């Protein structure tokens, strides 16, 4: 049965480590298993599309999203009336080693050819993502980013060993991330 909450933490094991500063202790995560549900994906998709819509010459709005066994799928509407398109992006998500997860635009589907329309939008979106801490462009795949989960979670006060390896697995309705 698909996860109906945003996030489910199944396992969390950590040590407390003195920092020498404030706060006096930090959490060093040893094991973590978290499952992200479709409700989380919808919220993140809506936020991302709202941010992109403000920078787009045409209106962009959320249509649907869902987790798949190898990643996620996002459908959005671009434009208005008979000039609108509703492309679907299929994203592959996989552990990349060295504390990173790869997110790749694997496919763009639409009733009409949309690569020339959606392509520049995706390139700008990837450029904006790479401006954030912990996100960088994949060195060999132009429509992929590497996300350092270690860096993202360190900003929330959690630390990990430098060689932490993340595993990603999915099924309809959820994506599980495991350290």
Give the helix/strand (H/E) hosting 124.
helix 115-130
Q: Which tens digit of pLDDT belongs to each residue from 88-127? A: 999 999 887 777 889 999 998 888 777 777 777 788 788 8
Residue pair 28/15 in contact (Cβ under 8 Å)? The answer is yes
Is residue 42 included in any domain, yes or no? yes
Average model confidence (pLDDT) for the chain? 85
Residue 2 maps to a domain: no
C-alpha 102/C-alpha 98 separation (Å) is 11
Distance of CA 69 to the CA centre of its chain: 15
Whose structure tokens read 């999203």?
65
The pLDDT assigned to 164 comes to 74
Which residue has better confidence, 44 or 1? 44
Q: How far apart are CA 13 and CA 122, in angstroms?
A: 37
Could you give the number of structural domains in the chain? 1
pLDDT digits (tens, 9 = 90+) for 22-63: 888 888 888 889 999 999 999 999 988 887 777 667 778 899
pLDDT (mean) for 60-84: 89
Question: Residue 162: pLDDT above 70?
Answer: no
- The boundaries of the domain holding residue 41 are 7-178
pLDDT of residue 2: 66
DSSP string covering 19-78:
-SSSSSEEEEEEEEEEEEEHHHHHHHHHHHHHHHHTTSSS-EEEEEEEEETTEEEEEEEE
- Percent with pLDDT over 90 in the chain: 32
The separation between CA 63 and the C-alpha centre of its own chain, rounded to angstroms, equals 17
Phi, psi of 174 (to 5 degrees): -160, 155
Lowest mean pLDDT among 103-107, 154-158, 169-173: 154-158
For 114, counting Cβ atoms within 10 Å of its Cβ (0-12 exposed, 13-18 middle, 19+ buried), the class is middle
Strand ranges inside 79-166, DSSP E? 88-97, 100-109, 135-137, 144-148, 158-159
Query: What's the confidence (pLDDT) of residue 156?
Result: 73
142 domain-assigned: yes
Beta strands 25-37 and 158-159, pairing class: parallel
The whole-model pTM stands at 0.82
- Parallel, antiparallel, or unpaired for β 60-68 and 71-78? antiparallel
Residue at 1 is within a domain: no
156 assigned to some structural domain: yes
**168 within 8 A of 101, measured Cβ to Cβ:** yes
């Amino acid at each position: 049965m698909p996860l109906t909450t945003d996030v489910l933490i199944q396992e969390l094991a950590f040590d407390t480590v003195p920092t020498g500063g404030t706060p006096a202790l930090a959490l060093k995560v040893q094991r973590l298993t978290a499952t992200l549900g479709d409700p989380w994906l919808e919220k993140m998709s809506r936020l991302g599309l709202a941010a992109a819509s403000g920078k787009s010459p045409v209106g962009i709005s959320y249509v649907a999203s869902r987790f798949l066994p190898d990643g996620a799928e996002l459908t959005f509407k671009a434009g208005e009336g008979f000039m609108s398109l509703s492309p679907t992006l299929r994203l592959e998500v996989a552990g990349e080693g060295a504390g990173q997860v790869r997110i790749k635009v694997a496919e763009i589907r639409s009733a009409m050819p949309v690569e020339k329309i959606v392509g520049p939008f995706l390139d700008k979106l990837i450029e904006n993502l790479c401006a954030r801490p912990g996100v960088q462009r994949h060195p060999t795949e132009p429509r992929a980013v590497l996300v350092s989960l270690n860096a993202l979670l360190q900003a929330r006060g959690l630390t990990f060993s430098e060689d932490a390896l993340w595993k990603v697995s999915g099924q309809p309705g959820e994506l599980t991330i495991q350290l």
